Structure 1
C-alpha cells in the first residue's frame, strides 16, 4: 500500500497544476501584506506578521483553494485516463480498492500542502511587520483581529497553527468530492467543473432555512476562525469526507476504465 501511495505522490509531483498551486498560495500573501485596500476589504490594519495568515487564508479559502484542489485532484484520474496509464496500472496484481485508496490518501493530503504553502508564504511576507508581542488578535482566535488584549508570540503561533489545521479539515470534503467526480466522469475538466458547480450550487442554497444551512459544507467556510464548540462542524465535514470517499471507492471498483 505504501508503494502505491509513493507512486501517486511521484505522479502528483510531475503534475503541472500540483506544482503551480502551492507556488501561487505561497506568493499571494506578499501581495496581501502591502495591498492598499486591505483594511477596507478585510477590516484589519496589519500590526503584526501573525495577522497575515488569517488574511491569506480568508482570501484564498473562498474560491482559489477549492479551485486548485478540484483541478489537481480531478487530474489524478482524468490525466491518467487521457494518457492511457490507468488501464495498465489496473492490470497489475493489485486490487482496484488499493489503487483508489492510494489516490484518495494523496488527494486528502494535497489540501494540507496548499495550507502549508499559504502559511509559510504568510510568515515570510509578514516579516516586515514583526512577530513580537502586540495588542490585538491574529484573526484566528478570540476577538478576531481586535483580539482581547496583549497577545504573546507563543499564543499567536498556537492560534495560527489551529486555524491552519482547521482550514485543512475544511478542504477535505472538496478533495474527496473531486476524486469522486474524477472517477465518475473520467475527465479532468469535467470533474473539476462538476466539483466547482457543486460548490456554487451549495452557496446558492443560502436562501433556504437555517435548518438546511447547518448541514451545508459552504456554511463552514469560516471554520478556520470559528471559536467555541466547533466539534459539530468538524464531525459534519469529516462525515462528508468519508461519504464522498466511499462513493469514490465504490464507483472506481465498478467503473470500466
Structure 2
C-alpha cells in the first residue's frame, strides 16, 4: 500500500542513489497532485498513512516548548499532529499540577484553566517548510478549516538550502519527502545545521520490504494499481507512475542510515513499519 506523499523537492546522488527528475519536474508533479493529495493518500493506503504519521509523532514525543521544523510538509499532516500532541501534553501537565495542589481555591483552578485555554501550546511552535506553493496553499486551507492557527507558520523554502539560522530547532521532521530532493546529502547536512545541539532528526519514508512474498504483492499493487488510481481519482497517471518509480529508486534502510551518519548525526537507527513498506529513521545532533 502506497501513499501519494511525494512531498516536495527532488533526489540525491551518492551511495548508489539514482536521481529522479529535475527540480522543475518534481514541482510539476506536486502541483498536479496537491488538490487530490488527501483523497489519494487515503485511497492508496486504505488510510494507513495516518497511522504511520501518528507513529512518527509519538516517536518524537515532543514536550511543551518544542520548536519543530517540518520540511516538505506543505499539507500540514505532521504539523497538525504535533499541535494536537502538545495540547494534550499541556492538558496533562495542568491536571498533574492541580492534583498536587489540593488546597487551591475554585478561583485559582479556574484561572489556571483560563490560562491554558489562552495559550494551549505554551512556547511550542511548528514551522512548515515546503518548496511547492501549491502544497503550502493546500496546507493553509486545511489549517484554516480545522482551526489551527496558534504556533504554526508556513515558509516557502528548499530542503537543500533552508532559510533558517544555525542551531535553531529542537526537532526536524521530513515525512515522505526526502526521496524527492535533488541532493540528499545537502538536505541532510542542512537538517544537521539548523538543529540545536541535542536536537533530533526524524524521517518517515517508503523503504524496502524484506519479506519476499509481501515484496512481490507490493510490487504488483504498486505498478498495476497505483497509476490506475491516480488516473481515476486525480486524472493523472504520470505523476503516480513517478511516485512508484521514485520509491523503487530509494536507498534501502541500512544505506539511508549510513547517509544520515555521514551528515554528522549520532545514535542513528530505524524502525520498520508494515514489513518495511515504510521506515522511520532517527538521529541526534550531539
Specify if TM > 0.5.
no
Tell me which protein shows more helix as a share of its residues. Answer: 1
Q: TM-score when scaled to structure 1?
A: 0.28
Q: TM-score, normalised by structure 2?
A: 0.26
Bigger fraction of residues in strand? 2
